[in-house]
Structure 1
Amino acid sequence: MHAGAGADRALGLFINTLPVRLDLDGTGVAASVRTTHARLSELLAHEHASLALAQRCSGVAAPAPLFGALLNYRHNTPAAMTGCGPDDVLAGMEWLGGEERTNYPLTLSVEDYGEALGLTAQVVEPVSADRVCGYMQHVLEQLAEALERAPDRPVRELDILPAAERTYLLEDLNRTAAAYPSQRCIHELFEAQVRQAPEAVAVVHEDERLSYGEL
């Protein structure tokens, strides 16, 4: 943001990433937002610092990563605004597409389109990007509601789980009921398993194992 004279004529992509720590504790949401803003503002003085310098100043010993998640706020010009003027430098060019990549386990971008906001996530499988964006959207809605109605509500009490996701995690994944011959006694079921797979491991205690046949 303060690259100096002539920076607009330099070829390259100038992006730096600095770590920020947020305290999700008993602090009220309004106070937490103000503290977050203050910490981000303080980082502007260090925006030219190298990642190596940030690593040395952090006290986090290598090779441990300084951070494993990126949050980016991107100002996007709507596509409708390009190619509409006679002096447009992109006149006559066709946009074929693009693809983003990241080396971090989680990258979440807030897309500012001027009149609307969007979310873009890149995550390591098996986590779904849609689920991460759903978490973010839900917690932003929770934050906005708390700022308006309960600014002293502890920030750690904000709920990140949408209703459908909560149902999936707590109910759908815990549906472990399975049909079995309930009319038979437990020892009869055990005997049937011995006949079916006598070499299968039945009991493990420290370094000792017993098969169904041995047990």
Structure 2
Amino acid sequence: AAPGDHRDPAKLVELINREGVTTLHFVPSMLQAFLQDAAVDSCTSLKRIVCSGEALPVDAQQQVFAKLPQAGLYNLYGPTEAAIDVTHWTCVEEGKDAVPIGQPIANLGCHILDDNLEPVPAGVLGELYLAGEGLARG
């Protein structure tokens, strides 16, 4: 895309269709803007859409399923202290109130701990701790 065209959904749709683009990577707010273009459903070459950098809203997920049913949607999560992304989730349609951050990628671990740094049971609130190769020093 030409400089600045990544912010113009109509130009992205035209480029995707002209070049047969198969993969997109958006922050969710840009995905939502892209999905508002009237011709987005013409982007039949798309096979996967990757989102990271912000929480992925359920309504954006549902719009992808409705407008681009041939494309897989993947949610990635990674805090500043990690090397880009640390978890992945393949989005699914069935009844979710939120889009999960998913499972750790290879060579990383995720742990939900309480104030005493003890693991909490499934479904109990805690703080996310990361372990493994993807962490920054310090």
Q: TM-score, normalised by structure 2?
A: 0.33
Larger RCO (CA under 8 A, 6+ residues apart): 1
Greater fraction of residues in strand: 2
Q: TM-score, normalised by structure 1?
A: 0.24
